[in-house]
Amino acid sequence: MSIDKTFIGFFTDRGHIPTTGSSLIPRPGDPVLFTTSGMHPLTPYLEGEPHPLGRRLVGVQRCLRTTDLDEVGDPTHLTVFEMLGSWSLGDYGSEQTLRWGFELLRDGFGIDPGQMYVTVFGGDDQVELDQESLRTWQSLGVPVELTTDDNWWSNGPTGPCGPDSEIFLWTGDGSPEATPTTDDRWVEVWNHVMMRYRRLDDGSLEPLQQLNIDTGLGLERLTMLLEGKSSVYETELFEPWMRIIPELWKLDEQDQRIVIDHLRSSMVIIGDGVHPSNTGRGYVLRRLIRRLLTILWRGDDSRTLSNLPEELFRHTLDHFHQGEVLSLVRCILIDEEIRFSNLLERGRRIISHDRFQKTLDQNDFDYLHETHGLPRELVLSLLP
């Protein structure tokens, strides 16, 4: 059984109802561009609004985090990823969620408890030590490290928040050693948030009208750990990408990962109805496409997205339940490539003018952007 089906099945057996809908596009009126976490679509219900499906929920949510763009290229960060989540909307508490988490990892996924370490909120000047979580892990025999900032979760500067407990798995050779905050061979796999507070504009906290549980477990990262691989790109989730892209284009490891991530993410974003543009969601998409093209053309300007085989589109869009828009996704990607190629050609002609044969200042960058539509980062890439 697949990882996501095992996860969903475990929680449905315990009274959780699967949530429907997993688009990257937030609900109308939400100020953020994209869904950034599994709990994001559930914010009104965490704040007390009754959910039509009840108080125990489980689901798989696709997420996008632009804050991680600079991290993409390392073994674990992705622009678009999937988050397995379970939620209690004022139903059960931290002891129950942590015991279930331990049980699922041990019995459902076959993870040796001796390879686990957890962190628990150790308290600060606003909220005391999370005694219930600490006692629960101690009763289960799992070693605990207490932290403060590392075990406080919020989705922004204001809004729902609370202490959390994170489960780490040992990825090093030999017996586990050190602790999660002192050795990066401990990899976080599952975060259980005790969503009890609302952060106000002045930084103070007020209790939510109900005590919630919000857990998030990254599908790609868990797959990497269960398969014993050293990066998410080596897992079965990326099998066709890692087979086809190295044959198509010769790239170093980091560039290959960025190209694969940005192409895959762009397909999913387009599949959710976003088109490239100069503002909002469309600008994020445009940045991803142009960044990957810049990498490709740095080595060979004859490389083109029109060479991508249908298998990559089919594999990705079917996985994210977007298969019906395959031809549209392909057309939009190739159209954006043509637009960018034309923009680069025009930019080279403009920058070759005598006026720009010097060190450019802010006035030059402003002029090139406002008059010719050439953003600063593009101009910098065209300079000798």
- Does one domain contain both 66 and 167? yes
| Mean per-residue pLDDT, 327-335 | 97
Retrieve residue 377's tokens. Answer: 């980062």
- Indicate if 203 and 261 belong to the same structural domain: no
Sign of the CA dihedral 93, 97, 102, 103? positive
Q: How many CB atoms lie within 10 A of CB 351?
A: 20
pLDDT band at 371 (very low <50, low <70, confident <90, very high): confident
What pLDDT, on a 0 to 100 scale, did the predictor assign at position 21? Answer: 63
Same domain, 222 and 266: no
Domain endpoint, select from 179, 194, 227: 227
The boundaries of the domain holding residue 270 are 235-382
Q: How far apart are CA 143 and CA 178, in angstroms?
A: 11
Q: Give the tens place of pLDDT for each residue, 7-42.
A: 999 999 999 999 976 789 988 877 788 888 878 888
Q: Same structural domain for residues 105 and 126?
A: yes
Torsion angle, alpha carbons of 115, 1, 82, 97, to 10: -50
**Residue 281 clears pLDDT 90, i.e. is over it:** yes
- pTM attached to this predicted model: 0.89
Q: What is the mean pLDDT of the chain?
A: 92
Q: What is the count of structural domains for the chain?
A: 2
Instruction: Verify that 332 and 191 share a domain, yes or no.
Output: no
pLDDT confidence of residue 108: 96
Note whether 218 and 175 are same-domain residues: yes
Question: Positive or negative, the Cα torsion across 138, 141, 145, 147?
Answer: negative
